[in-house]
Structure formats: structure tokens, C-alpha cells
Amino acid sequence: MKSNSKRRLLAAEDLCRLKIITGLAISPDETRIAYTVETISEDCRKYFAHIYMYEIPDGESRQFTFGEVHDGGLSFSPDGKQIAFVSTRNKKTGIYLIPSDGGAEKKIAEEDGSFSRPLWTPDGKSLVFSFRYNDSYKETDEKKKSEAPVYRHITRLMYRLDGLGFLPQDRFHIWKLEIAAGRMTPLTKGKYDDVQPAISPDGKMVAFVSNRSVDPDIYPLREDLYLVSIAGGKEKRVPTPAGPVASPSFSPDGKKIAYLGHQFPDDAWGVHNYHLWTVGLEGKPAAKDITPKFDRQCLDQTINDLGEGHDWPALYWSPDGKRLYFTASDTGSTHLFYVSSKGGLPSRITKQACHIRAYSLNGKKRYFAVNRLDLRNPGDIYIIPARYDGDREAARLTELNKVLLNGIKIPTVKEIWFKGYDGTDLQGWLVTPPEMNRNRKYPGILEIHGGPRVQYGFTFFHEMLYLASRGYVVLYTNPRGGAGRGELWAGSIVGDWGSLDYIDCMAAADYLERLPFVDKKRLGVTGGSYGGYMTNWIVGHTDRFRAAVTQRSVVNLESFAGSSDIGFLDRVEFGGHPWENPDGYRRMSPLTYAKKVKTPLLILHNESDLRCSIEQAEELYATLKLMKKRVEFVRFPEEPHGLSRHGRPDRRLARLDWILKWFDRYLK
């Protein structure tokens, strides 16, 4: 460990020097862990991801793949001798195999489309996955693929999706790939998306999830569980209650399927908890919620700025079928749990505050391989025994960023609790500058998360550490309406944005002001997406902040309903469609209060953002400019909604630079 005097401050560019684990898989004999590490090119314009192998008995790690590639979706063969993975190379995506001892990878399929993680059949002869063709897959002229079509004929509501752009005409279906022949065969067909396959222990059946309601675009939570033979043929629906279905997993005896879901098909996003359910293949025994009293989401809802998250997590049965293993978001952490397959209260495996971002079980399932993050570590591979209080014997296997972080003065981050105006206990994290002089007064910044139903937590957040390294006291907190504290907490702002969430943010500002080392006259506020909404709301309702930065924000809920890729789904959140509740939409829209804005506002927005369209920023900027307010507008070309998490790296750095410059101008 370097002495503190020889360390430097964290730089924005350190974001491009981090090594980020993006996936992992443990071998059937539990002696090897394959994992992928994402890095950024020297010019900070591209991402690469390569496969590494950690040999547990030797305590050594080796890099398996190289070059300008992006590998992921790792899956060990049943005998542990090979790894199947998905790779993008030369702008094409395919499925590859590589020996688990190392060696040359072999391409076995390549198509112009999107592959999910491949799953091995028990005999090791085939792979199963979901796949969708891009519209250009039949083009033989490579130059034409980059040209826009003459026109687009739109007939669906869900015709585009942030980060993907215009959706292909093809739908996701379940496919089988015979490895020896290199032949891909569709197991399902039709006009609906079929996703999340799982293979029965005997290899004869494939379970998958599909929404075949009258209009899946309008009713996205009306999903069902289906079965199809590994040879294809007629599909059979497995009876489950109305509501979402995710992450199916066969029991070891092949008689049941576990899945994540709930029975509220018209739920506002993220309010009702995804629980663990089990169901017999013929609907007998009937579908049963086996965690009915567990008031937590069985999902990872902890956010940071190290990459896109919120993939559907895997569910694992114990070899004897008596337990199920899963993750859940709980008061700022994402923990590992297990529960009896007969039902009951779950037991927590990880006790220390942390963020389990990925995990894998295999073979005898004696222990987990996990990617574990915390406030000072952007992620490393750990082994954790698969039992209650397992992290007491957790072993850290990698230290990917040790050299980099040992040379940096990392700011202090600590969890805090404080009271809201109505006595509610509120959780947050306070970041203070390195070597802070407590006799000084520092400017403060309040950060507000997006969602709203996600949570800040015990994970590594470069942005917060960077701002603190530049002389700010940063507070990020979880107001009501977010995740991690149950259904009542999550649902408290449905139909009433800008209410309890606003007063909780003001309580956080009060906490900042009361700190003896914070200058209460030099406070800033920022947030993105819903956090941008709340930033806009705040500056329209108080002038206590000297500067604000709103990012990829929501401004006008009426126009958002039609301009967002999924805005039409917010009818449940906001009490109907805009024409059914016009007064409510206007009351909850920050644009309504633009004339009251006195705080200097910087607007950051991404030109290819389909979640919160840039027209939201344009409305706000034009309105404030016409009102002679202090406002500036920075647009990032080509970038979708998630610029801060996985946009082009040089633009991520530019974004940080603009935030810092704006706060420096008004707070220093």
C-alpha cells in the first residue's frame, strides 16, 4: 500500500482505466471460474471484453481471448471441457467455443442478429438460446446495411427501444444449435417474442417466457410460461397466475419449474415485488408464491455508473431440490439468499453490506462464484459458501484494480441515516474529499437517482468519488418511491410524483446544510432520468440551491407519454393516459413551474435518447431561455439514455467535465 502522500486525486480519466467484470460462470467440478473483463481503448472511444479463467486450486488467472472483441454469455459444457460464449467481432455476432484448458476459440455460428447466453443440452451436443434477426440479415451488399431505408412503416406501439433503436421486424424465438453440424434450428415461431429458455434435466424439454396477450406492447406484464420439445413442435402453456414471469429454472427431478413473478399484471413499474414461485409442469401442483411474506424485490436494483444492469437474475435449485438460491435488493445492498422450495422466509447468505452483481452455481453447488462490489471496490471475483452466513468464509480471488486504486486518494464514503420531515428514517451515503479539513467549509452536492424504482447502495460509484475528489461533499440518498425497502415504500409516489420524494430530498438537503464542514449557501443538485425530473421539480419549487444540473430528464409528462419508447405504459403510474387525467399530468410536470425557476440550470441530454427523448430537454431549454433564465444546454450526439453508464467513453468524460465546470462556476 502506497503512503498517502504519494497518492494522487481520482481523475475523470480513471473511469477509462478501470477493469470491470461483466459476467462469470463456475465449472461443473467447481475448480474453475470463467469471467469476462471489460476495458476501454486507449483513445477512450471503444469497449472491449475478454475471457479470463481463474484456476481455484492454483490461485492463478489467465487471459483466454484477445483483440478488439466483445465476449460474454459464458456457459460451461456439462463435462466442463469447453466454454460456449457470445462474441461480437468485426461488427458481427456469433457463438464460439473455447477449451476450458485454453487454446484457440472456434466459431460455430454467426448471424446478423442478437443472441442470448447459450445453454448446453445435458448430452453436450447442442446449445439452446433465444435469437432475433436484424432487418438487414438478408442483405448481401455490405454498403447497403449502413444506409437508412426509404421509409419505415410503423404498426406497433413498441417499435423502438432505447439503446437498440428501431426494433427489427423479426421477433426473438428459441433456437437450437447442433454443434457438430453447426446447424441452427428454430424451436418456436410466430409473431410473439419467446425468451429466457431453460432446459429440463433430461434434455427433452425447453421452458421459455412469452407474452401472447391481445397486445403485448400495451400489457407487457401479461407473460406466461411455455414448454416446447427439444425437437420443436407444438408449445404448451404452463398455468400460472396473471402477471409477469421471468428466469424459469427446472427442479433437479424435472417435475417443477421455479420462476420470478407476481400476480399484478397492471402493476406500476417496480412496485409489487417479484417473488419466487414454483409450479408443476402440468400445473399440478399449482403455481405457488414460496416467499409471500418477503417484502423485497428478488432482483438486483442497485445502480452505479460501471455499466448497464438489471438483467434477469438466474435461479438455482440445490442438488436435492430442497432449496432455491436467488438475489434480492435490500436497504442499499443486493444480497444472496436461499429459501426452502416448500416455501417460507428466506435466509440471507451474505451479511456484509455489498452489491452482488453477478453469481453462478454449478455441479454440487457447494459455493457461489460472485462478482462482489462495495463502496471502495468496483468488483472482484469471490467464492462464497452456499449456506447461511456464508460470507464469513468468503474468499477474494482477484484484485483487478489494485494497482490503480492503490495510487489514488480515495474519498471517504460512509452510510448515514437521518430523519425526514414526518419522522421517516432515510438512508444515504456521504462522500467527503480526501484529507478533508474539518475547519473548512466545503460546497455540497445532492445526487438523486433515476428510476424511480432503483436504489443507490453499497457499490462503487466513480462519479460521486470524482466530485468529492474535486472538493465537494456529496450526498446521495434513497427517497421514498425507490427500491430496496418494500412495496409500500416503492408505491408511495404512484400518481403523486413531486410529493413525498420531494420532501425527502429536501430533508437530505437539510442534512447537508447542518454538517459543520458544509457551506449551506453553496449547495448544488443533480440527477439523471427520474433524478433529472426531480432536479427540475426542485428548482421549480425552491431557490435554496445555487446551481443545478439536470440530465436526460423528464420535463413534460404529457409529451413524454408519446415521445418516450415506453411512455405509453405510464398510464398506471400517473392515473390514466394524459387525456384521462390532464390536470394530474400538468400538476406533476416540472415544465408547469418553469416560471418559478431562479437556480442556474445546466441541461445535459443525449440526442439518441429514446427513453427520455431530447424533445424534453428542448422544451425546457426553450421555455427557460424565453423567460430570460440562466440556462445552458449541452447535447451529446448519437448517445442513448445510458450515456453515464456505458456511452462512448470520451463522451462520458465530457459529461463529467461539464458537471464539474458548472458547479465550479457557481459553487466555488
- In angstroms, the Cα distances linking 190 to 170, 235, 607 are 9, 11, 34
Whole-angstrom Cα distance, residue 123 to residue 131? Answer: 22
Alpha helices in 596-635 (DSSP H): 614-626
Which residue of the set 247, 469, 529, 644 is catalytic? 529
Helix (H) or strand (E) holding 667: helix 649-667
Widest pairwise Cα distance in the chain: 74
CA distances (Å), 393 to each of 358, 396, 659, in order? 19, 10, 42
How much of the chain is in helix, strand and coil states, percent to nearest 5?
A: 20, 35, 45
Q: How far apart are CA 452 and CA 530, in angstroms?
A: 6
Count other Cβ atoms within 10 Å, centred on residue 238. 19
Q: Distance between CA atoms of 132 and 202, rounded to whole angstroms?
A: 27
d(C-alpha 155, C-alpha 136), whole Å: 19
Q: What's the grid cell of residue 98?
A: 473455447
| Catalytic residue of the set 335, 462, 641, 646 | 641
- Whether 70 sits among the annotated catalytic residues: the reply is no
CA atoms within 13 A on the CB side of 294: 28
Residues in the chain, overall count: 668
Amino acid at 167: L
Instruction: Give the position of cell 502506497.
Output: 2
Cα(505)–Cα(501) distance, integer angstroms: 6
Q: What is the DSSP string of 40-71?
A: E-TTSS-EEEEEEEEETTTTEEEE---SS-EE
262 flagged as catalytic: no
Name the nearest CA neighbour of 183 among 76, 111, 130.
111
Give the H or E element holding residue 404.
Answer: helix 402-406
Specify the residue for cell string 471502495: 376
Residues annotated as part of the active site: 529, 641
